[in-house]
Amino acid sequence: MDNENNNDRWVFDGKYFVKVKRCLLCGLPSHTDKLCENCQYALFQIRELKDCLTEALREGKMPPDWALKAAEKITETLADYPYFLAYKKVISEIVWYYIIDDESLYNGIEIEEVTELEYTHRSRDQILRDLYELEIIDISLDRRIFPGKMLKSLLDLKKIYGDNFASFNWKSYTLAIQAIFMLGIVEKLLEKHIKENTPLPRIPLVTFKILSAVIQKYKDKTDELDRINEFRLLDIELQALISILGSKVSKNRFYINITGIKDSNAKLIEDFDEKEKEFIIHKDLNNYIKRMIERIRDVERERKR
Ligand SMILES: [Zn+2]
């Protein structure tokens, strides 16, 4: 047996066994490629949003409003995802050192000094490599940690412009950094699953698949897009996507999280229309959805040429 993630399955259709192509990510039937259209859009969104935030921070600029609002809702939705915890703690500790001690900014921090790296069960080298690849940290040849391009923009706010921890800029930059590492790691985990069949990050995937479904639903409504002020998704459409979470407990937890019932902070969903049996997507995601639809149209037009 080879290790390749084979996406052909034999399915009994009531009479014969037929070969059906299944999406390598969500496992649903795929007519397009190795990935279904919905999962392709999910990956597209992850890369677009990550690139937009990264580009802004690299140039020391505030990311655009649509990206920040979406980043906030998405990071809130994924905040409890255990995989991110170690990264978040390590980044926070490093930022703290740079802020309280100028010396550490110029001479770097010894890897052994970062206590959160000692206390995590994740691979220390993997965390450092991921943060390095996402330009959050830099590592010198003598293995000391320096701020990467992303952290530099954040630290400049404090060190050069004197912003305080409660300022709008500080909050936005911190948020952008959190979103960048979450998106970067989700992207990697999904790519790894496609290539090597490693465990699938189901909750992050479903989060983006929900947004993909909205994009697919509204993508062809060309002239109306500007005028839409509420994006909706049928209850049954959402249920179908959430089915990849498996157990009823996981599904309910997800609903309770994205609607904000658990912490009074609505995330992906801001309301449920009982009459129409439709979920209303949080309005902070409206411009993000419009933006993604425009980008997808651009790419598809380009491809047709
Ligand atoms: Zn799929």
Q: What is the pLDDT of residues 17-47, one digit of tens each?
A: 766 788 999 988 877 678 999 999 999 999 9
What the block records as the tokens of 271 is 């309301």
Distance from Cα 25 to the centre of ligand 1, integer Å: 5
Percent of the chain residues topping a pLDDT of 90: 74
Q: Is the pLDDT of residue 171 over 50?
A: yes
Distance from Cα 35 to the centre of ligand 1, integer Å: 5
Distance from Cα 158 to the centre of ligand 1, integer Å: 43
Distance from Cα 209 to the centre of ligand 1, integer Å: 8
Using alpha carbons, list the distances in angstroms from residue 38 to 10, 159, 295.
22, 43, 15
Q: What is the pLDDT of residue 281?
A: 97
Residue type, 209: K
Residue 248 CA to residue 2 CA, distance in Å, equals 34
- Nearest CA among 217, 214, 227, 229 for reference residue 283: 229
Average pLDDT over residues 82-88: 88
Residue 190 CA to residue 303 CA, distance in Å, equals 24
Average pLDDT over residues 248-259: 94
Distance from Cα 40 to the centre of ligand 1, integer Å: 7
What is the residue-averaged pLDDT of the chain? Answer: 90
Distance from Cα 36 to the centre of ligand 1, integer Å: 4
Distance from Cα 65 to the centre of ligand 1, integer Å: 29
- Band of the pLDDT at 13, cuts 50, 70, 90? low
Q: Are 55 and 153 in contact (CB under 8 A)?
A: no
Q: Where are the domains of the chain?
A: 82-196, 200-304
Distance from Cα 291 to the centre of ligand 1, integer Å: 22
What the block records as the tokens of 108 is 């770097």
Distance from Cα 1 to the centre of ligand 1, integer Å: 24
Q: What is the pLDDT of residue 6?
A: 56
Distance from Cα 287 to the centre of ligand 1, integer Å: 24
Average pLDDT over residues 290-296: 95
Q: Which tops the pLDDT comparison, 8 or 119?
A: 119
Distance from Cα 244 to the centre of ligand 1, integer Å: 10
Distance from Cα 153 to the centre of ligand 1, integer Å: 36
- Band of the pLDDT at 217, cuts 50, 70, 90? very high
Distance from Cα 27 to the centre of ligand 1, integer Å: 6
Q: What is the pLDDT of residue 239?
A: 94
Residue 256 CA to residue 80 CA, distance in Å, equals 13
Distance from Cα 87 to the centre of ligand 1, integer Å: 27
- Band of the pLDDT at 10, cuts 50, 70, 90? low
